[in-house]
Each structure stands twice: as C-alpha cells, then as structure tokens.
Amino acid sequence: MSLVERRLHSAPVIKAFQLIFSPAVTWEEIVSANRGFFSIVFLYLLPLMLISAGIEGYSLVRLGERRGQFDYVVSISQQLALRYEITQVLLGFAIIWVGARFLQAVGTSFELPSTYLQSFTTIAYGFSPIFLTRALDAIPALNTWICWAIGALIAISVLYHGIALVLKPDQTKGFGLYLLSIIFVLFLSGLAHFVAVSVLHEKLLK
C-alpha cells in the first residue's frame, strides 16, 4: 500500500464511512492499529467532529434553519452558529468519556477483562456515525432530529461489530452488553442533541 493510500485509509471521514459500509473489516484494522488514547482523540475524533461542525455551521450561517409547522427560514448569526457547534463538540467529548466509563463498568460487571482504552476505542469509533451525519444538517430541508436518528441507528449497527471485535466477550455476555449499549446510545446522544438544539434555539446559554 502506497503512502497516499495509507493516508487516505486513515483519514477520519474515510474511516467513518468504512465503519458504516464495511464494519467488520474496519474494526479488525482498528484493533490491529492499537492506537493510544491521544492518538484516537487528536487524529480521529477531534478532526471528524470539527469537519462535521464546520460543514453544519457554515450552512446555518449561509442558508439559515427551517423551523415551525410551515418550515419558515430563520437566519442564524455567526456567533450563534459558533456557540452551537462548540456545544456540539464539547457534548460529543462528554458522551464519549461517559460512554467509555459506562461500557467499562458494565464489562467489569460481566467479568470481562477489558481496559478503559478498549472501552474508549469502542465508543469513540462506534459513535462516529452520529458525528458524521451531523453534516446532513447542512441541508435545511432535513429536520435535525431526522439527522440524529439516522446517525444513532447507524451507530447501533457499528457498535455491534465493535463490541464483538474489541472487547471480545463470549456470546451470552456480548449480547447483554450490546443491548445496554443501544440504550446508552439512544439516551445519552439524544439528550446531548436536545441540549445542543436548545442552545441553537436560544433557550440555553443566551
């Protein structure tokens, strides 16, 4: 594999798409790479979040946001869009950190010898479809909650392979761990999105 191919292969957005369309192979590559905490944060997670936030924020300022029953367009100031996107990024890191702690705690209760790094890797890559599909909010006609739902459903599918290949639980424990992860994904990511949208609608942090 050439240097250009390796760089493209490891690019955050490319990797996120690979997790969606070829999850098993991509997870095996992630396990083989054995990246550390800071490598995952600064070379994958943060760039992915910033790219999605940049696309969404630019669209909000240029095209506005459709709201209400009649889909009227509301202009969004650059300051408000920036505040909204910063909130999204900070909440994204918060749910990854909490999610990794949650997954590790549940794994320990299931007597799985998993480390925090393994749990963090699973959640960080597993949640990437949620961050990636935020770019869909750049399309004013799409409701923001539809974009979140698409990302959450894909993340649930991606996590299935991640838990199996990174944590390597046996079949009975793995299924229970996966079910709890689904509940976590839907609840915490939904709550984070609700808070962020409240900021965008100037109901919080005015």
- Taking residues 83-100, what's their average pLDDT? 93
Which residue has tokens 């009649």? 70
Kindly give, in sequence order, each residue whose CB lies less than 8 Å from that of residue 185, ignoring residues fewer than 6 positions away.
Answer: 99, 126, 127, 130, 152, 155, 156, 159
Annotate 97-123 with b (16+ C-beta within 10 A) or e (fewer).
eebbebbbebbeebebebeebbbbbbb
* 3-state DSSP percent of the chain in helix, strand and coil, to 5: 80, 5, 15
pLDDT tens sequence across 5-28 = 344 345 888 899 999 999 999 999
Among 167, 160, 161, 165, residue whose Cα is nearest residue 114: 167
Which residue has tokens 């240097």? 3
What is the DSSP pairing of strand 65-67 with strand 72-74? Answer: antiparallel
- Taking residues 101-121, what's their average pLDDT? 88
Q: Is the pLDDT of residue 195 over 80?
A: yes
Q: What are phi and psi of 149, to 5 degrees?
A: -60, -40
Burial class (CB in 10 A: 0-12, 13-18, 19+), 129: buried
CA gap 131, 3 in Å, rounded: 27
Which residue has tokens 């698409």? 150
HSE (CB half, 13 Å, CA atoms) of 166?
34
Residue ranges of E strands in 91-141: none
Per-residue confidence at 70, pLDDT binned at 50, 70, 90?
A: low
Instruction: Compute the mean pLDDT over every residue in the chain, rounded to the nearest whole number.
Output: 86
Encoded amino acid at 145, one letter: W
Q: Is the pLDDT of residue 2 over 50?
A: no
The model scores a pTM over 0.95? no
